[in-house]
Structure 1
Amino acid sequence: MSFIADKQTLDDLNLAGRFNPNSIFSLFNKTKTTGGERLLQEMFKTPLTNPEDINQRSSVIQFFQQAGLTFPLDGPIFDAAGNHMALGTSRNRISGLVNLMLKKASATVLRDDKFQRMVDGLSATVEVLNKLRDFWEKLGQQIDSSPYNNTWKLFGPIFSDARLASLIRGNEVAGWPLVKLARYDHLMRHVLRKEIELLFDEVCRLDVYIAVAQVSHAKGFSYAEALPKEKNEYRSSALRHPMLEKAVANPLSFKESSNLLFLTGANMAGKSTLMKAFGISVYLAHMGFPVAAEDMVFSVKDGIYSSVNVPDNIELGLSHFYAEVLRVKHVAQEVASGKNLVVIFDELFKGTNVKDAYDGTLAVTQAFARYTRCCFLVSTHIVEVGEALSAQTAGVQFAYLPTVMAGSKPTYTYRLEQGISSDRQGMLIIQNEGILELLEEK
């Protein structure tokens, strides 16, 4: 079963987006090769749901972070080698030699570039194999008992293959005679084609692992521990948003007996940022990637749904409120179907009047709290809902992000406190901005 996260959730948490420099994908996309970038995109599309697979990937990335290794290849050279390997080849060395002779004759007579492109591709492949051999030898000095040991052993025989042993470092392929060109081209693109293609696939994984490890080191991220879904918990002593350089870290925890956190606080107090940080940590942890937290333990889930920025739909004639209702309905159907989900709702029913928003938020939150296999993070400005929940509903945690007044100016700590907010500074902010004075008649 694949991990569930729909487009609304991916957009809310700003997870995807190759061309968005502020996306979480872009944060980790420090890959050097085209194949590495494609693999990273695929990992972002398909988070894992098996705790053993998650912990294995996480441990491999952590190993490369601790090893401090850099990616050994130049991206364009590796891409050129990959393109060369993707070309067709002759079944035997003699026909390959004849084909090369024809290409060289064509290059001389017709100024055709096919021969030169073949030489350049073979040269790139030889350079890649030599650099990888050096890297594999260096890696072997640190690999004992590491989670990457079995993979390292798998590809070792390629570099010790006697048929490749005469590839001399620094030898210019352009100076080789046609017979040698044909021999090695046939060897790599036909005889050892499967082995080299598997090796090149692993190079793309290495590109991702090393890039992610370097980001983790630079940002001070940590590695989450995945537990079976039956454990049904999430905890972090210091969680923060990965895109903020000076983000304030906060503790968060969920378990079966306290599976819903009801969050209050004023505008600009940091509620949305905290909720997004939580959602991003859940998603990245299911990928086996490092998270912006001091520590994190989590039970695997079937997926995550959020409702942070629900747009109206003019084409379908949907108001903002009705779009919110449909979003809540869809998530409710998924929750009621028995899935183990993480659900994030930022200000339920903010598109309607206060009375209906109060009634709807209270009823939906009470209903959610009964589904103890899921965990919910719900925020609202309607603090009276929290008071009613506190009196009527078990399993609900209450926390708020406070406002501290500096004279008549509100300031924010961005640190969670237990309880329900009593802050009501909306009118004060309006007054501080002098809106009413601007509208006074002259």
Structure 2
Amino acid sequence: MLKVHDLNLKNDILPLFNYTYSTEAEDLLRQFISKPLNSVDEIYNRQQEIKAFVQNWKVLESFTYQRLDYREAMYFLNEVASNKIVLETQQLKAFIRLTFNYGQRQQLISKCIQVINFLHRLNSRYFSGLSIAAFPASFQKHLQVINAFIHKLEMEKQAGLVAQQQFTLKATIQFSQKLNALTQHETTSFWTSLATFEAYFSITKGILTHHFAFPVFAEDAFELKQFYHPSLKKPVKNDLCLASTDNVILLTGPNMSGKSTLLRAVSLCVYLAHLGLAVPAASAVLPYFDTVAVAINTNDSLQDGYSHFMAEIINLKSVVQEANSGKSCFAVFDELFRGTNTDDALDITTTTINGLAKYNRCYFIISTHLLHLKSATEIPGVKQFSIACELQENLPVFTYRLQEGWSDLKIGRILFEKEGIPELLERIQLTG
């Protein structure tokens, strides 16, 4: 099960890795970040694919092209492959027809040269300099498709003729014959492989730009060192190291202390790791989870007719059902059951935590403002953390530092009085 809508894939995650130039590559990138992989082996394989790009980064660092050149080359080759543009294959007929049709001749020469320049530039600057052996077999097939396509068109020879201004009508007709010999499958496979290559380049550039680290997977470890949320300009980095028996993590701290941001940061590390990508941390050792569920912005669902509280119940139920089926779960609940009254919330949250603490191979992180939970949850399987906040001259100073232990600090009344609301209310009474 996957429920990560609250991680805001489009606005928060995609921009971290999106250095694509084509719509096709961006679409593939969107697919990559929306589909966690099915096993640790698949994750490690994708990591190896990305690491091969890192090894070849001296060659690929400047990878770029003009979008218009890409679109024009793709359109022309696809039209030829699908026979929407028919090129004369008999050399004599083509020579006679094009000799006496200046406009058609110039248009064909221009289109051919545009394709040649585009493909030759990519090949000479990037593809020809790659160490293909560094890539796992799963990605080598894409490079082989690209290289076979370029080789079949004799791109070096064509580019040499263009550079020497010897791409004559005869050379144009001969190149047209090579284009005609391409099958639609070959052409489609080439563009798909090129888009895949660009999507991986984009991911790699994002990882290197943000200095993310590749995680390691282990069944009985959950260790994030110096993790943070990359959307913040100056993030505070924290550590979170859990034992395999720490099934429920209770997070406390006053309003504005950064609980929701920290939950997003931890969830983002877990989610990116399951995509086979690097994570915003100095290092990470994580279990593989069958279920990843993040509930940070649970709202009423008008379409389904759910109230806020019922939406929380449905989210929790789906996670518990997954855990009951024997699946390993990672789930985050921000202020669980805030959609009901305090007494109700305290009662059912205590029951929930006591139940969740019994599930092995699962980690449940719950933030709460219910301070009476402290004594009720001092049980095996539950670990208490808080985000540090200090009072200086009776004003809160937020450190955003994660620490073990419980926070009893209340700053609501302090901020209420700081803004002068009691005086304003008193003034209303005096003038009423």
Report if TM-score (shorter chain) is over 0.5: yes
SS in 2 for 1:422: coil
User: Is residue 197 of structure 2 the alignment partner of residue 223 of structure 1?
Assistant: no
SS in 1 for 2:50: helix
> Could you say which residue in structure 2 is the equivalent of 1:351?
339
Contact 1:78 1:124 in 2 (8 A): no
> Could you say which residue in structure 2 is the equivalent of 1:14?
8
Pick closer, same or farther for the CA change 1:156–1:189 going to 2, 3 Å.
same
Q: Mean alpha-carbon deviation: is it higher for 333-342 or for 381-390?
A: 333-342
- TM-superposition CA deviations, 1:132-162 (whole Å, max 9, x none): 321223224xx55455894587354555558
Pick closer, same or farther for the CA change 1:172–1:314 going to 2, 3 Å.
same
Contact 1:366 1:389 in 2 (8 A): yes
TM-fit CA distance, 1:86: 1.8
Aligned 1:1-400 pairs, distance under 5 A: 4-6=1-3, 9-10=4-5, 12-15=6-9, 17=10, 22-66=11-55, 67-68=57-58, 69=60, 70-87=62-79, 88-89=82-83, 94=89, 108=103, 119-134=109-124, 135-140=126-131, 145=134, 147=136, 150=140, 154=144, 155-156=146-147, 158-160=149-151, 163-169=154-160, 171=162, 176-191=167-182, 194-195=185-186, 197-227=188-218, 231-314=219-302, 316-390=304-378, 393-400=379-386
Q: How many angstroms apart in 2 are the aligned matches of 1:115 and 1:307?
A: 62
Residue identity in the other structure for 1:408: N
* Aligned counterpart in structure 2 of residue 417 of structure 1, from 403, 409, 414: 403
- The gaps in structure 2 that reach 5 residues or longer are none
Pick closer, same or farther for the CA change 1:38–1:255 going to 2, 3 Å.
same
Q: Mean alpha-carbon deviation: is it higher for 120-129 or for 352-361?
A: 120-129
Q: Mean alpha-carbon deviation: is it higher for 314-323 or for 127-136?
A: 314-323
SS in 2 for 1:127: helix
SS in 1 for 2:158: coil
TM-fit CA distance, 1:23: 2.2
Q: Mean alpha-carbon deviation: is it higher for 96-105 or for 25-34?
A: 96-105
SS in 1 for 2:54: helix
TM-fit CA distance, 1:178: 4.5
User: Is residue 387 of structure 2 the alignment partner of residue 401 of structure 1?
Assistant: yes
> Could you say which residue in structure 1 is the equivalent of 2:418?
432
**How many equivalent pairs are there?**
419
Q: How many angstroms apart in 2 are the aligned matches of 1:342 and 1:378?
A: 11
SS in 2 for 1:279: helix
Q: How many angstroms apart in 1 are the aligned matches of 2:168 and 2:273?
A: 53
Pick closer, same or farther for the CA change 1:265–1:162 going to 2, 3 Å.
closer
Contact 2:248 2:364 in 1 (8 A): yes
- The gaps in structure 1 that reach 5 residues or longer are 109-113
TM-fit CA distance, 1:355: 0.8
Contact 1:399 1:419 in 2 (8 A): yes
TM-fit CA distance, 1:13: 0.9
Contact 1:49 1:300 in 2 (8 A): no
Q: How many angstroms apart in 1 are the aligned matches of 2:164 and 2:325?
A: 62
Residue identity in the other structure for 1:13: L
Contact 1:85 1:197 in 2 (8 A): no
Contact 1:350 1:357 in 2 (8 A): yes
- TM-superposition CA deviations, 1:175-210 (whole Å, max 9, x none): 844543343233135336644543432222221222
Pick closer, same or farther for the CA change 1:158–1:314 going to 2, 3 Å.
closer
Contact 2:229 2:261 in 1 (8 A): yes
TM-score by length of 2: 0.86
TM-fit CA distance, 1:273: 0.5
Q: How many angstroms apart in 2 are the aligned matches of 1:352 and 1:55?
A: 43
Q: Mean alpha-carbon deviation: is it higher for 405-414 or for 154-163?
A: 154-163
Pick closer, same or farther for the CA change 1:188–1:50 going to 2, 3 Å.
farther
Q: How many angstroms apart in 2 are the aligned matches of 1:78 and 1:238?
A: 41
TM-score by length of 1: 0.84
Q: CA RMSD in A?
A: 3.1
Identity of aligned pairs, percent?
28
Pick closer, same or farther for the CA change 1:363–1:127 going to 2, 3 Å.
same
Contact 2:52 2:134 in 1 (8 A): no
Pick closer, same or farther for the CA change 1:204–1:434 going to 2, 3 Å.
same
Residue identity in the other structure for 2:72: A
Q: How many angstroms apart in 2 are the aligned matches of 1:203 and 1:128?
A: 12
Q: How many angstroms apart in 2 are the aligned matches of 1:235 and 1:97?
A: 71
Q: How many angstroms apart in 2 are the aligned matches of 1:362 and 1:198?
A: 56
Contact 1:240 1:277 in 2 (8 A): yes
Pick closer, same or farther for the CA change 1:24–1:161 going to 2, 3 Å.
same
Contact 1:49 1:301 in 2 (8 A): no
Q: How many angstroms apart in 2 are the aligned matches of 1:106 and 1:232?
A: 74
SS in 2 for 1:296: strand
Contact 1:32 1:75 in 2 (8 A): yes
TM-fit CA distance, 1:78: 2.1
Contact 1:34 1:75 in 2 (8 A): no
Contact 1:262 1:386 in 2 (8 A): no
